[in-house]
Structure 1
Amino acid sequence: MPSHYQVLVIGGGTAGIMVASQLIKQKNRTSLAIIEPAETHYYQPAWTLVGAGTYDYESTARPMASIMPKQATWIKDRATGFDPDNNTVLTAGSGDITYDYLVVAPGLAYDFSLVPGLGDAMDKGSVCSNYTDPKHTWDVIRNFKGGTALFTQPATPIKCGGAPQKIMYLAENHWRKNGVKAKTDIVFATAGTVIFGVPEIKKTLMEVVNRKDINLRFHHKLVALDADQQIAWYELTKDPSAGGCTLMAGDDFKQLEGTFVHNFKDVKVTVKDGRYGIHYDMIHTAPPSVAPKFIQESSLVNEAGWLDVDKHTMQHKKYANIFGLGDVAALPTAKTGAAIRKQAPIVVDNIDKLIGSEKMGTKSYNGYSSCPLVTDYGKMVLAEFDYDNNFTPDPKLKQMLISDSSKEHWRLWILKKYMLPYLYWNKMMQGEDV
């Protein structure tokens, strides 16, 4: 196996495979290698549906070998570090590998130390996450007998920021059908200040929340989990005393309707040492997420520990022959596969132009991302937006007879469950620009 490549890609996830496939298919670059240790590639957007019992987990997995571009060299190894001044990537077992151009797309990693108690409890008993074990999520939801159902998320950036609420809407639908809803208080606790940052989508989701009678709690930063006592501990990111009261008990939240709380439910709480504990009977959360350790410890990151790239070109801010995209990149937009779909062609164009003429391409990424928000079995809203949170629906939706994707529609559910997985495996992973 050679130790030098014209283009070296770190990561065999959505971003790495898309860039590699497009470089080979559209630009005929053959001196290209992908560093990726995993044997299996997952279509993770379907894990929301797996967690709701309406998609087969095995169908989300394909052997990594089956989606690796045939002309690429697969280095089945882990990248462990960088020497960017000498165009070198260090690996665990394959020695040093050099490159002309580097694409950094290893995704993100989970750091459970950021929420003490969560790592030991994750995917056990009543603690579940579609991010780590969606089959366990479905077990928790279908075996739930009532009480406080808490849906929450850490304050770190996470994959698909809408995912922690999607499963909540589907769980409510399931519990409504089987009679458990009448014995249940559903709480959504988030460090955010609104249910969704795009005004058109927020309007629809607030209607969904009201229809489902869900208690929203804002300014709640998840800081610890006590699985034995079944308490999720929060720090409040805004001082509630500014609202005219000191927070001593759950009842005080009634006075904060409209700022801290919406659809108040008198669930059991404990206030201790300045922290606010919500008692739960089941909890769904996302793991606290960070860049992989070998990225954080490199000279390629910004102060927040994410890959430091230009938000329009994806070129590294210090090293002109390094590009980064996907979840690891310090881009101020949602970390989704849909965002990668728009980022990859720009990285490909820039590398191709640099190889051919030593000049960058002229394409610019506007921060496009998309979050398919399932609101019931058979209903979905499609949030598409840019860096400025402008609602930017794809004109192609008109071909599906969808005039307003900010409203719930059954055709959007069909898109999510059937069309997007097909497009992913048969178009995006094959290097087609879709």
Structure 2
Amino acid sequence: MNRRLPGTFNQCQRHLFASSHPVSPAFSTRFLSTSRVNHERQECQVLVVGGGTGGCAMAAKLSSRLGSNKVIVLEPEDKHYYQPMFTLIGGGMKRLDQSYKQMADVLPKKAKWVKEKAVEFDPDNNTVSTSGGKTIKYDFLVIATGLQLKYEKIPGLVEALETPESNVCSIYSPKYVDHVYDCLRRTYKGNVIFTFPHCPIKCAGAPQKIAYISDHYFRKMGRRDDVNVIYNTSLPVIFGVKHYADALMKLVEKRNIKLNVNRNLVEVRSSENIAVFEDLVKPGQLYEEKYSMLHVTPPMTAPDVVANCKQLVTPTGFVDVDQMTLQHNKYTNVFSIGDSACTPNSKTAAAAAAQSPVVFKNLIAVIEGKAPTDIYDGYSSCPIVTGYNSCILAEFDYTLTPVETFPIDQAKERYSMFFMKKELMPVLYWKLMMKGYWNGPALMRKMFSILNFNKK
């Protein structure tokens, strides 16, 4: 095991090749731009790769503790999306422009933003190479790269998504999410099919959330009798936690939603309005289903740049960390947070929130030469929106045991949970989590537990 830790911690600073080799003005004019691209070297105490939910939360916590110019965030995108809002956008309850802020406004001012992609990890030499030709030397590394959407893995899907009249849509990408509500509004009859792929995905509840919202939409519009709502999931059950699965099965039966398990989308033939599914219990057996509207949850994988660094990842391409401490199992100066980690929790923003204090405390401990002792219990939360005014708030841990915050049965549909999901959680996300102040509802849960105990 590589337990070598850097002996000193340098401030993040730029080391241009040109600045260390005095040259004539003419030489500088001709060659400086090339030197900047090919020879720029930066150093930092902590490098955070990824400016999503986990990356921004960690950058805020670490830069606040370590001070200015100690943290670099490597992130190429201009916009930071609050992705849990995408299901609401798909149902016409929110607009896309309400779901994002400029990355420059979200990242902490004490951290330095390098607006480039990571193209190669070299954990043996504590460096990451970037798309702009930089080499960033770090003392500690936090990988927060999330998942990548792989629409192209399903033949015919990208073409269908980019053909507006095809009535094929997906809430998972800002590129396609607006089209979901368009499809709902022009669908009056036939099969409306929703899919769940055969792989780990972000927010595993989202594929059925949009199904429930769509069902409610068709009922409001008086079209439900002419529309067949079908939910095809590759999983053997509707939801992994029995307490909530039982409630969702009752919901599906009550609303006459057809549930097909172990069924995976393998092809879209949009010119014929046909979706092809494989039976995962009987591999090779295919079903062709005609649709009037098709909502697709795409396959997802770890980003290629992460998966390609075999020293860092498991065979499935996720960062090989201890599921309790979130420290890398080989490189003790490396941690991971969020969807990029190999931890077997549900991949949600709530999980990243619960992981953030664990990564922060354990990383600070390692910086100070101590062993990491803080533990992540696998907590995740999934507010399962079931319509335009109701929600089931699922909360659970690694053991798939419910870990509910409120002193009520959260498996019941409630307007209060819907209001919290739609109106309160976005504010909490932007005002608290992105500033490093929100660590999940554990403290709130403890307070409710004490109050409930005192009543007894």
Q: What TM-score does the superposition give when structure 1 sets the normalisation length?
A: 0.88
Task: Return the offset for 1:173.
Answer: 0.6
For 2:70 and 2:193, the matched residues in 1 are separated by 50
Contact (CA 8 Å) 1:41, 1:63: kept in 2 or not?
yes
Match of 1:221 in 2: 264
Q: Which residue of 1 aligns with 2:309?
A: 298
Gaps of 5+ in 1: 241-272
Q: 1:128 aligns with which of 154, 162, 169?
A: 169
Q: Deviations over 1:8-50 (max 9, x none)?
A: 0000100100011111234547410000011110111011001
Q: Match of 1:97, SS?
A: strand
8 Å contact from structure 2 (residues 116, 130) kept in 1: yes
In 2: Cα distance, 1:388 partner to 1:216 partner: 25
Q: Which residue of 2 aligns with 1:254?
A: none
Residue 338 (structure 2) pairs with residue 338 (structure 1): no
> Equivalent residue for 1:46?
85
Moved more, 220-229 or 18-27: 18-27
1:37-64 Cα offsets, whole Å, 9 max, x none, are: 1111011101100100011211111010
Partner of 2:248: 205
SS at match of 1:232: strand
Q: How does 1:246-325 map to 2 (within 5 A)?
A: 274-299=285-310, 300-325=312-337
8 Å CA contact 2:432–2:438 kept in 1: the answer is: yes
Task: Indicate the residue corresponding to 2:35 in structure 1.
Answer: none
Following superposition, the deviation at residue 285 of structure 1 comes to 1.3
Cα distance in structure 2, aligned partners of 1:120 and 1:281: 17
Deviations 1:114-156 (A, max 9, x none): 3222122225321100002221001101111110000112111
**How many residue pairs align between the two structures?**
395
Q: Distance in 2 between matches of 1:150 and 1:317?
A: 41
Q: Which moved more, 1:414-423 or 1:21-30?
A: 21-30
- Is residue 86 of structure 1 aligned with residue 125 of structure 2? yes
- Paired residues of 1:27 and 1:352 also in contact (CA < 8 A): no
Q: Which residue of 2 aligns with 1:163?
A: 206
Q: Which has the larger radius of gyration?
A: 2
Residue in structure 2 matched with residue 188 of structure 1 by the alignment: 231
Instruction: Report the 3-state secondary structure (helix = DSSP H, G, I; strand = E; otherwise coil) of the residue aligned with 1:344.
Output: helix
Higher relative contact order (CA 8 A, sep 6+): 1
Letter in 1 for 2:374: K
Q: Please report how far the alpha carbon of residue 223 of structure 1 lies from its aligned counterpart in structure 2 after TM superposition.
A: 1.6
TM-score normalised to the size of structure 2? Answer: 0.84
Q: Counterpart of 1:373?
A: 384
| Secondary structure at the counterpart of residue 55 of structure 1 | coil
Aligned pairs for 1:321-400 (under 5 A) are 321-356=333-368, 358-394=369-405, 397-398=406-407
Moved over 3 A (4+): 26-30
Deviation at 1:425, TM superposition (A): 0.2
1:94 CA drift (Å): 4.3
Kindly indicate whether the alpha-carbon contact (under 8 Å) linking 2:67 and 2:110 is maintained by their aligned counterparts in 1.
Answer: no
Counterpart in the other structure of 2:194: 151
Please name the residue that 1:406 is paired with. Answer: 411
> Which residue of structure 2 aligns with residue 119 of structure 1?
158
Instruction: Select the residue among 232, 251, 269 that pairs with 2:275.
Output: 232
